[in-house]
Amino acid sequence: MILRGKQNIIPLLAMTVLIIGSISTLYVHANQTTQSTNLETILINHQSFEIQTLFERFSNTTIETDDGMKTGILLSEVLLSTNVNCPTCSSYTIKASDGYQQTVNWDDIQQGILTMEKQTYFPHLAHAFWVQDIVQIEVKE
């Protein structure tokens, strides 16, 4: 239905989105300043790891993506070292410092790598799954 003569609703709609956007911006900034994230560690399956330690422990692998060659350690090796009870029947939620998160399964984990810059690459998945600045990998069984 065309809202003929109802143009007065337009300023109201504009004000509504401005309020929503402003409150969300304040919330995001407040949340970021109160977060106490250690930039050098990642929490994987409830265990804290220094990124440098992970790279000393596991060997580097290079994979080909549509964004070029990427080098890192295999996510599957890292996760198996944390004693995941049932790798194939678990899901893995990868969380970034800004709250962004994506969930993948074991088939995806087997093809993914974690880089020194704390970014995941999955050559077979959309870039939306390439999480940057990772702070946690949660295992849900």
Partner 1 sequence: MNNLKFFAGMLVFGSLWGFSECIIGPMFSNAGFPSGMIMTGFFALIFLVMSRRLYPHYGMQAGMGLVAGSLRMINPFGGCHLCSALAIMAEGMIFEIIFYSTTTLDFKNLNTWTNKIGLGVFSAYTVYVGGYIVTQILTPLTYGQFYISNLISMMPQYLARGLPVAFIGALTVPLALSVKNVKLTLKDAWYYPTTLGISAFCWIFVIANWFIFTI
**Contact residues: partner 1, CB under 8 A:** 1-7, 9-11, 13-18, 20-22, 24-25, 27-28, 31, 66, 93, 95, 98-105, 108, 125-129
Q: Which is nearer to partner 1, 25 or 60 (CB)?
A: 25
Nearer to partner 1, 39 or 126 (CB): 126
HSE-up (13 A, CA, CB side) for residue 98:
7
> In a 3-state reduction of DSSP, which class is residue 18?
helix
Burial class (CB in 10 A: 0-12, 13-18, 19+), 43: middle
Neighbour-count burial for 125-134, b at 16+ CB within 10 Å, e otherwise:
beeebbbeeb
CB of 121 to partner 1, least distance (A): 12
Least distance to partner 1 from the beta carbon of 20, Å? 6
CB of 59 to partner 1, least distance (A): 28
Q: Work out how close the CB of 18 gets to partner 1 at its nearest, in angstroms, rounded to a whole number.
A: 6
